[in-house]
Amino acid sequence: MFEALWEIDPTAGESALVERIAALERLKSAAAAGQARLAAALDASRRAAEAAAGVPAAKRGRGMAAEVALARRDSPARGGRHLGLAKALVYEMPHTLAALDSGVLSEWRATIVVRESACLDVEDRRRLDAELCSDTAALEGLGDGALTAEAKAIAYRLDPHAVVDRAARAVEERTVTIRPAPDTMTYVTALLPMAQGVSVYAALKREADVCCDGRSRGQVMADTLVERVTGRPADAAVPVAVNVVISDQALLGAKQGAAVIAGYGSVPSAVAQKMVLDAVSDPRSRATLRRLYATPASGALVALESRSRLFAKGLADFIELRDQRCRTPYCDAPVRHRDHATPHRRGGATSGVNGLGLCEACNYAKEAPGWSVTTGTDENGRHAAEFTTPNGTHYHSAAPPMPGTPKMPMTQAEMYLNGQLLQVIAA
């Protein structure tokens, strides 16, 4: 039906190509509106079925956001935003939904309107919806900042107390987060009250204004932030435990490959070598070595040398190092819970096979009625999990291979010796 939109005619004029791009953008918006209607309908259907089954109102719809996220191949956190956006558009903001459907608003800009009206009651939210989005011509040419400002102004005029109360409550959401950045860098983000955030930035900027040692302003500000938070020079090793997973050959420089930094992800082995060398050579730091045992062919982590007297701690470390990130498909959140795939109350074993590394939200979502998770090993010997949602859809997840895994399959002799090694480790 839409094939003609994405077929490329190399002889077409530029205006025709631009119009085709615009048509596809309108199609994306219309698809987002369709997804919103479907998500709201799915949520209503599930809640009605659970109400008929006698499920308490407070527990209805649990895990629904995770199902929406899996269907959209997105993270559970974004699934919650998708579902909240869908319900707001369908039930409270018909003009915003119509603007999205027609392509005047993108999904992100519709999200801005919904977000800025979230503090209002239903009647005021509908008034904002009508005032801002009923005339789609007025939305043409508005950027994200202008749309945000307009929505905020209307919300404040309709209910100034709600807007002020929302700003006061926002202070409770202050936090610090970290996520990977390209080239073995990280983004450390602080969500702070406005006055504190401005003062922090001003202090770092003031330090950069008086420093003239060849570093750029950004480098001075970054180094100053590290020094003031840790109390140590920016180039000094910090005595905080960091798990670096690297093969013995890559560690010793016999071959180049990849390493894994727990909580970050994959990095070149040369970067990991330098981290280890800095920790070993700095007398203020302490480095320990612990052996991990992986299947040579697939890189599946199968055992861990425990330095703890409590097996539970060693098993938890094993699961976190094996899974690296939350095992729910499309979720990149750090592992917060080491949970039983088959619950312990249903006879699930406290073992590496039945254990899963999950983020907090995904662990709670899978406890909702109708969810199930089964675990085992795939054809490559890696730990595998199958997530089944209440509607019967199946999603698969496999633990990532350890760094240094060879590309060549094992020979029969290698497979035999690997099996003998695993038996010795198990014993």
Q: What is the pLDDT along the chain (427 residues), one digit of tens a residue?
A: 456 666 777 788 888 888 888 999 999 999 999 999 999 999 999 999 999 999 999 989 999 999 999 999 999 889 999 999 999 999 999 999 999 999 999 999 999 999 999 999 999 999 999 999 999 999 998 899 999 999 999 999 999 999 989 988 988 999 998 888 888 788 999 999 988 999 999 999 999 998 888 899 999 999 999 999 888 787 766 555 567 777 767 676 767 777 777 666 777 777 777 777 776 676 666 666 666 656 655 666 655 554 443 335 677 878 888 888 899 999 888 888 888 888 877 888 888 888 889 998 898 888 888 899 999 888 777 889 999 999 899 999 988 877 766 555 555 655 555 555 545 444 4
Provide long-range contacts, Cβ within 8 A and 24+ apart, for 318-322: 318/352, 318/355, 319/352, 319/355, 319/356, 319/357, 320/262, 320/357, 321/243, 321/245, 321/262, 321/292, 322/352, 322/357, 322/383, 322/399
Alpha-helical runs (H) found in 211-268: 217-230, 248-251
Please name the amino acid found at residue 378. Answer: D
- How far is Cα 220 from Cα 207, in angstroms, rounded to an integer? 7
Angle of helix 14-52 relative to helix 76-91, nearest 10 degrees, comes to 90
**Residues belonging to the chain:** 427
Element holding 176 (H helix, E strand): strand 175-181
Structure tokens at 139: 């939305």
Beta-carbon contacts of 222 under 8 Å, excluding residues fewer than 6 positions away, are 234
Contact by Cβ (8 Å): 153, 163: no
- How far is Cα 323 from Cα 375, in angstroms, rounded to an integer? 13
pTM: 0.73
Beta-carbon contacts of 11 under 8 Å, excluding residues fewer than 6 positions away, are none
C-alpha distances in Å from residue 208, one per residue of 196, 214, 230: 19, 11, 19
- Torsion angle of the four alpha carbons 260, 261, 265, 270, in this order, in degrees rounded to the nearest 10: -60
pLDDT of residue 303: 57
- How far is Cα 323 from Cα 241, in angstroms, rounded to an integer? 18
Alpha carbon distance, N-terminus to C-terminus of the chain: 61
- How far is Cα 337 from Cα 366, in angstroms, rounded to an integer? 12
Element holding 394 (H helix, E strand): strand 394-398
Burial class (CB in 10 A: 0-12, 13-18, 19+), 412: exposed
The per-residue pLDDT for range 323-363, each reduced to its tens digit, is 888 999 998 888 888 888 888 778 888 888 888 899 988 98
C-alpha distances in Å from residue 318, one per residue of 178, 267, 293: 23, 20, 10
Element holding 181 (H helix, E strand): strand 175-181
- How far is Cα 356 from Cα 375, in angstroms, rounded to an integer? 9
pLDDT of residue 426: 43
